[in-house]
Copies of this chain bind each other. A is one copy, B any other.
C-alpha cells in the first residue's frame, strides 16, 4: 500500500565498513526515482543524531558526491553505537522513542532506513513497532551491514566480502614475504583480524590458499576453543615442512573456559590496568616462550574494515542493491518492519544472488556463527564448504579514482536541515 508523499530519512549505525556508503548511494539514487519521496535527509551520527535533530539534506549534495559514496569507506553520514534499551532503562527508552517520533513528525519523515548490524536492526524494529503502536504512518526498512557477517537469515552481509578480500590479499602477501625469508631455523608470523564471537573474518583468509600447503597454515576461530598444545604441534609440523608458518587469529579467540586469550589478567601495565595487547601478541608469547620460534605479529585493526582501496566489486554492487531494494520495498510495496537480505540462488552454476526481505523481529539480536561442518575436523581451518560459500564474495576490484597517487574519497558537505524542535534535555 503506497502512502501519501513524505520525506525520507537514512542513517548509519555501528562500526563502519568499506561499502556502507554504497548502500546510502543506493538509497539516494533509488529514492530519486519515486515521486512519493520529497526530501531525502540523513541522520547525522545514527539514531543519536536523529534524537538531537541533527539532520542534513542529501538533495543538496552533488551528484558527483553521491556517486563517490560507492568507493568511500567509513560512515559518510556519521555513526553511533547508541541503543534504545528497554531492558536496561525502560523510562529512557520510552523517552527516546517519544523524541524520535517528534523529530519524524515535525520533519514529515515517512520512510526510515537504518543501515547497520545486529543492534541497528533491533533499533529499526523498535522504531517500526512504535510507529504501528502510535498509528504513525512510517515505512521502516533495515539495511544489513557488518564486516563480521554475523547477521542471521541473509546469505552474507555487505561489508564482509571487502573485508575478507583485503585480509586474504594481505595474508597472501605476508605469506610470500615470510616464505621468501625462511631459513632452517624457521619463522612464524601471526596476523590478528577482527571477529569477537564469530570467526567469519578469520575464516575468509583461507581464500589466500591456492594449494594445500599455502598459507595461512593455521586459522584460529573464536568458535573453536583454543588448545595450546595441539596448536603448538601444528606450528612445529608446519615449520618442519615449510620452514615458516603463517597463523591467522580472530581477536576473540577463547580458551576452553570461555575466556578470551588476549585478556591475560595476570599482567598489568605501568598504570595498573590489565594488559590487553591482543590475541596475536599473546600467541606470539606462547610460540616464542614454549617452542623458541622467532615470531612476528600483524594487527590489521580498523584497516581491514576501511580498506576501500581493495574493496570487492561484488560487495559494492550488493551493498548498492540492498539500498535500492530497501527503498523499493518501502515505496513500491509499502512494506515496513523488514530487513533487506541477500539470497543466493541455489544450484546455479555461477554465483547468482538477489535481494529479499526478512521480518526485523527475527533478525534482531541473533548472532550467526560458522556452522561446525564448515570447519575442518581438527578445527584449524574452514573447509571446502566455507570456500565455496566465500569465494564469490571477493570477486572483482571496485574502481576507485586516484588523486596524487592515493584514493580520492569524498566528504559530504552535510548541509544542515533547520531544527524545528527545542533541544532535548
Contacts and interface: CB of A to CB of B under 8 A. Distances in A.
A168 B300 contact: no
A406 B169 contact: yes
Given A277-B281, A289-B270, A298-B302, A312 B405 contact: yes
Given A75-B181, A177-B302, A281-B281, 14 more contacts: A18-B173, A72-B176, A74-B173, A74-B181, A173-B307, A173-B308, A174-B301, A174-B303, A267-B270, A273-B285, A298-B301, A309-B310, A314-B405, A394-B404
Q: How many copies does the complex hold?
A: 2
Interface stretch (A118-126, A323-331, A395-403): A395-403
A307 B166 CA distance: 10
Interface stretch (A26-34, A76-84, A131-139, A371-379): A76-84
A405 B394 contact: yes
Closest 3 CB pairs of A and B: A271-B289, A394-B405, A298-B301
Nearest to A284: B277
A275 B170 CA distance: 26
Contact of A306 (B15, B168, B177, B307): B177
B404 A395 contact: yes
B79 A406 contact: no
A298 B397 CA distance: 24
Contacts of A170: 303, 307
Nearest to A411: B176
10 contacts: A74-B176, A165-B405, A170-B303, A172-B407, A176-B409, A207-B404, A267-B269, A267-B270, A277-B277, A397-B402
Nearest to A208: B406
Contacts of A404: 207, 391, 394-395
Nearest to A207: B406
Interface of A: 15-16, 18, 45, 72-76, 78-81, 165, 168-170, 172-174, 176-181, 183, 189, 207-208, 210, 264, 266-267, 269-271, 273, 275, 277-278, 281, 285, 288-290, 296-303, 305-310, 312, 314, 391, 394-397, 402-407, 409
Contacts of A281: 277, 281
